[in-house]
Chain A
Amino acid sequence: SYELTQPPSVSVSPGQTASITCSGDKLGISYVSWYQQKPGQSPVMVIYQDTSRPSGIRERFSGSTSGNTATLTISGTQTMDEADYYCQAWDISNVSIIFGGGTRLTVL
């Protein structure tokens, strides 16, 4: 079955740039969205349609794609950005929505 692959963890120092990748064979034909989930909370969408940022999401969150890899970039990372991040895409072959396994971002 189709899978989206994310690194299990990423660490970054405060103020630095964090990059979280999401790779999948069919990403080139599907838009990607990204969600932030803090402990005990529901996911929150931070990027949709590869690069669009919802209102209320800080400008330091950005998305990009290249071939079969999507990247979530957090510039000037703050401790409040510590969370799990999930990518999500559309699997046209199976007519289903899929999530990556998630990446735990640690800011230290």
Chain B
Amino acid sequence: QGQLVQAGVDVKKPGASVKVSCVASGYNLKDFPISWVRQAPGQGLEWMGWIIVYNGNTNYAQKFQGRVTMTTDTITNTAYMELGSLRFDDTAVYYCARQRHDYSNNYYFDSWGQGTLVTVSS
């Protein structure tokens, strides 16, 4: 089955960047794309984009284009999401999720990391 493991907490100042990690355990990271989803305090889920691990291709949500970079390290089985030019409203829990894709219009997430709380504070 496998699972995704994330670090707990990070605090950054406005204007800085944050790099969140996600380690795949029990399966090869290359086998499935990874999506990143965030959740602001008391709010819903917001998809940020995905990375196809075996070729490095990315697809970022329009809202985050120019500010987000998703990468992977297949030696350590780790995915990364870097968000720059942080603002106060980027305070959120950032989740990595293993993405499945069957047929042309069927995308879903069958495994989620426990999330990393990123707080943007001056």
Contact pick for B102, options A29, A44, A49, CB 8 Å? A49
Contact pick for B105, options A31, A86, A101, CB 8 Å? A31
In the complex, what residues of B have CB within 8 A of residue A98's CB?
A: 47
In the complex with contacts A43-B95, A92-B105, A54-B110 CB distance below 8 A: yes
Q: Which of B7-15, B70-78, B112-120 contacts A (4 or more CB under 8 A)?
A: B112-120
- What DSSP secondary structure best describes chain B's contact surface? strand
- The complex places the Cα of A101 from the Cα of B45 at a distance, in Å, of 7
A31-B105, A97-B50, A100-B44 are known; give 4 further A-B pairs, CB within 8 A: A42-B112, A43-B109, A86-B45, A90-B105
In the complex, what residues of A have CB within 8 A of residue B113's CB?
A: 42
29 A–B contacts from the bound complex (CB under 8 Å): A29-B105, A30-B105, A31-B105, A31-B106, A33-B107, A33-B108, A35-B109, A42-B95, A42-B112, A43-B45, A43-B97, A43-B109, A44-B112, A45-B109, A48-B100, A48-B106, A48-B110, A49-B102, A49-B106, A49-B108, A86-B44, A90-B105, A90-B106, A92-B105, A97-B50, A97-B107, A99-B46, A99-B47, A102-B44
Whether B59 and A95, one on each chain, are in contact in the complex, defined by CB atoms closer than 8 angstroms, is yes
In the complex, what residues of A have CB within 8 A of residue B114's CB?
A: 42
| Chain A residues within 8 Å of B, Cβ to Cβ | 29-31, 33, 35, 37, 42-45, 48-49, 54, 86, 88, 90, 92, 94-102
Contact pick for A101, options B35, B44, B97, B112, CB 8 Å? B44
Whether B61 and A96, one on each chain, are in contact in the complex, defined by CB atoms closer than 8 angstroms, is yes
In the complex, what residues of B have CB within 8 A of residue A95's CB?
A: 59
